[in-house]
Structure formats: C-alpha cells, structure tokens
Structure 1
Amino acid sequence: MPVPDVMFCAQQIHVPPELPDIMKQFTKAAIRTQPRDVLQWSYGYFYALSRGEPLPVKERVEIPVATQKNDTGLTPGLLKILHKQLSEKKIVDIPELQRKWKNLCLPVQQLHNLLRLDSFADGVEWMKFFALACSALGGSLLSSMKHACEILTNDPQGAAARIPYDTFAFLYTYLAGLDEEITEEAVESYLKALKEQVSRKEYMVGIADFSIAKKV
C-alpha cells in the first residue's frame, strides 16, 4: 500500500537552533577552500565535523602554485590541511591517507606517485610523506624546504617562517638522501653551517637562515 502524501506546515518542521551557524561556517569554509568537487569535499567536511576531527578547510584563499607551470592539484594550503589532520598520528594508515586525499579532491595518481618514492608497506611515516609532498611543490631541495617552513611555522604570514632546527634537519636530510647527486658530506656540511648560523636563536630556522647557510 503506497504511503499517502503528507503536507507539512512550517510549525511541523523542527530546525535545530545550531543549524544556521553550521551552514554559515560551512559556506565560509567552502569559499575559502574553493574545492574542485564541492560534493566530495562537503562529505569530508561533515564527516570530520561529526567526529571532531580537523576540518578540510584552508586558512585563507590561495592562488594554487600548480597553476604557475602545470596543474598538479596539490597546493601549500591543501598540504597544510593534511598536516593538521594527520601529523599527530606519526604513522598513518594508507587507506586513511587516501580518504583524506580524496576528500580534498586531489588527483589519486599524484598520491600513488608520492607513495612510490619510499617504502610505506607498514604505514606512512607522516613527516617523510610531508617532505615528499613539499618536494612536489618545490622545484629544488631548498624550494621544497621553503614550502616546509612556511607550512609548519607558527610565525604570522610574511614573517621569518621559523621552525625547529631538528625538524628542518630531518626533512632536509631525508630529501637530500633521495638525490643521488647530493653526498652525505655535503648534507653534513650544510647542516653544520646552518646550525652555527641559528645557534643564537634557540635553534629555530627561518628561510633567511638557510639561504645564508647555503652560501657558506
């Protein structure tokens, strides 16, 4: 027997009082993030909201770095979202990384290409993957490190973009180790010069510091 049509009046429809603010914040987040696939991103947004997880939202509207040369999809703003969502776990399951990546509407093939650069069979060591993602944004080792500093720093936008020396040294050593043309001696020499440069600054490395160290 078919269900009869039911006419609801405005008084019969209960609207939760928090819904208008939720939709307002959602709309502002969508404008700031400008996802390629609004439906997929919306799923990720409300999934994260329901679980109390960091939302897939950019801090500000950005001009994608990818548009400068070719469209790779990944941008510093999107990588910063992934870092907020996944960095606390240290080791990330590949299915979870794939889900977060997909919810940001990023190309699946790009993720596969990054994962092939190291052995992540037992899970993804997040900071190593983060370094690889920075290398996808930068055309050189120092450019990759510049992106890393700008994403990881707690400094305000446009400031020195400082990060702890130990974090910088780990990322730099890892990426340099993937380049057959860079010797271990060269890496050690560079990091030694850098450490001497920042020794008076509580071991915080800024973009200007590692640019100077490169010339030493």
Structure 2
Amino acid sequence: MPLPDTMFCAQQIHIPPELPDILKQFTKAAIRTQPADVLQWSAGYFSALSRGDPLPVKDRIEMPVATQKTDTGLTQGLLKVLHKQCSHQQYVDLADLEQKWKNLCLPIEKFRAIVDLDPCEDKMEWMKFLALGCSTLGGSINTAMKHICEILTADPEGGPARVPFETFSCVYRYLSKLEGTVPPAEMESYLATLKETVDKRKNGMIALSDFFITKRKV
C-alpha cells in the first residue's frame, strides 16, 4: 500500500538561518550579472560560493546587455569578473579557465579563438589572456588599453583609472607586437614619453588621461 502523504506543521520545518541571506545575495547577483543561462551560471555561482572562491558576479549591470543572439556576449564587465577569479595566479590552467568561461554563459568558440591568438598548451599567463580578451572587444589597441586600465584599476568607477606603469607598458608591448602595426622603435619612444609623465608624479602610476593626451601628441 502506498504510504500516506506526510503532513508537516510549521514547527516541524527547520529553515537554516543563513538561507534567506544566501538567496537574497544570489538574487542580487543574478540581476547585476544578467546571465544568458541562469542554470549554468547558478551552478558556477554556488560552486564558487561553497569553495570560498571569488563569485562570477558583475559589479553592476552593463547596459545594453550583450546577448549571444547578436554577438559573442563578451563584455568588459565579464572580463573583470574573470580577472577577480584568476588574477591571484600568474598562470591559469586553461581547463579551469574554460570552465569559468562556461559558467559566465559565454560561447566556447570565442574562448578558443582568444587562446588561438597566442597558442599555448595547458597553461596561459593570465595577463596575456586578459589583454587578448580586451583586444577582441573591438576597436584599436587604444580601446583595448582603455579596457585594461578600467579593469585593473583600484580607483572608483569614473575616476582616473590609474594602473602601475610597469603593468601598462608590458601589456602595451605585448599587444603591439601581436598586432604588428607599430614599429618597435616608435612603440618604445611612445612608452618613454609616457614614463616621463609618470616619473614626474613619483607614484609609478599611469592614468587614462596620460595615455590619451600623449597619444594625441605622438
């Protein structure tokens, strides 16, 4: 005989005290991130939460939100999420990075296209992947460097977007060499001009305004 339906009263149901806050934070994160596949993203979210890893969550909603129906879905905000998850290590395991990419509901074809720009086997230097990702967002190397600065900076949104000059120069050299359109001598001359500006400030930081002002002069 089938068992009768079990009856519960309110006193018998135990709700973990932390559950409401977990669900509240999850809902806020989903709204900010606007994942294309909520189930895929949710799996990555709770997996990261259980391990104590950085969560796959945007700082804010990006408008308009890119969708895979119209483009690759990759945005500066999503690259910043990956940076939070990966920047603690110099080299990232490509299999782990690919899973993080999938958890953000991004097409795997785009991931492989980025890796193929500078092929490697099992691991890739994180800053190189980030630079390549920024370069694929469209526009010139100047646009890519703008994305880099805005992702790496500790300044609040809308601020000067300052980053260490050494980091800036390494990324600029890397992208310039891959692009191959700027002669090495011209590239080094440009960076030397930028460094003069940075040295006057004596903090080792370059701001976006330095970058674009100098670009107009050279």
Instruction: Please confirm whether the aligned pair reaches a TM-score higher than 0.5, indicating the same fold.
Output: yes
Q: What code does the residue aligned with 2:198 have?
A: V
Cα pair 2:134 2:148 within 8 Å, conserved? yes
**CA deviation after TM superposition for structure 1 residue 62, in Å:** 1.0
Residue matched to 1:78: 78
Look up the match of 2:208: 207
Shift of 1:119: 2.3
Q: Deviations over 1:15-69 (max 9, x none)?
A: 10010011011111111111111111111110010000001111111125757xx
Q: TM-score, normalised by structure 2?
A: 0.92
- Once residues 138 and 165 of structure 1 are traced to their aligned partners in structure 2, the CA distance between those partners, rounded to angstroms, is 23
Query: What's the RMSD between the two structures over aligned residues?
Result: 1.7
- Separation in 2 of the partners of 1:123 and 1:51? 22
Aligned amino acid, residue 150 of structure 1: E
| TM-score relative to the length of structure 1 | 0.93
Specify the alignment match of 1:90 in structure 2. 90
1:10 and 2:17 aligned: no
CA displacement at 1:11 relative to structure 2: 2.2
Aligned residue number for residue 36 of structure 1: 36
Number of residue pairs the alignment of both structures matches? 214
Q: Which amino acid aligns with 1:194?
A: L
How far has the Cα of 1:159 moved from its partner? 1.2
Q: Secondary structure at the match of 1:92?
A: strand
Q: Distance in 2 between matches of 1:132 and 1:114?
A: 6
Change (3 A) 1:145 1:6: same
List gaps (5 residues or longer) in structure 1. none
Cα distance in 1, alignment partners of residues 183 and 64 from structure 2: 33
Unpaired stretches in structure 2, ≥5 consecutive residues: none
One-letter identity of the residue aligned with 1:205 = I
Q: CA deviation at 1:8?
A: 2.9
8 Å contact kept, 1:35–1:105: yes
Compared with structure 1, are the counterparts of its residues 100 and 87 closer, same or farther at alpha carbon in structure 2 (3 Å cutoff)? same
Contact 1:91-1:125 at 8 Å conserved across structures = yes
Q: CA distance change for structure 1 residues 62 and 203 in 2, over 3 Å: closer, same or farther?
A: same
